[in-house]
Amino acid sequence: MVQDFNEQALLNPRVKNNVGHISLSFSERDKDKLTDKKMTEIAREYMQKMGITDTQYLIVRHHDAPRPHCLSVITE
């Protein structure tokens, strides 16, 4: 996966950093409502609205805190 991100970054001469990180964090009160599927939908919608399209990214849900959160790793 790292190789894929690096190769894609080489295709765009404007890229300064091969990878960027975006964290989406939600209220602990919504924990029961936020299934993996729902968090993925929210993260994808966020990426689209931020103009992060036509690039690869990875969405990872974390369970290391009481609040639901996920991290998106993108090729910048």
Q: Could you read off the pLDDT of 21-64 as tens digits, one per residue?
A: 899 999 999 999 999 999 999 999 999 999 888 878 889 999 99
Which pLDDT score is estimated for 18?
66
CA 4 to chain centre: 16
Helix (H, G, I), strand (E, B) or coil at 42: helix
The mean per-residue pLDDT over the stretch 58-72 comes to: 91
Closest CA to 39 of 72, 21, 61, 63: 61
Which pLDDT score is estimated for 17?
67
pTM, whole model, 2 decimals? 0.75
Helix (H, G, I), strand (E, B) or coil at 30: helix
The mean per-residue pLDDT over the stretch 5-23 comes to: 75
Cα separation, 56 vs 27, in Å, equals: 27
Which pLDDT score is estimated for 20?
80
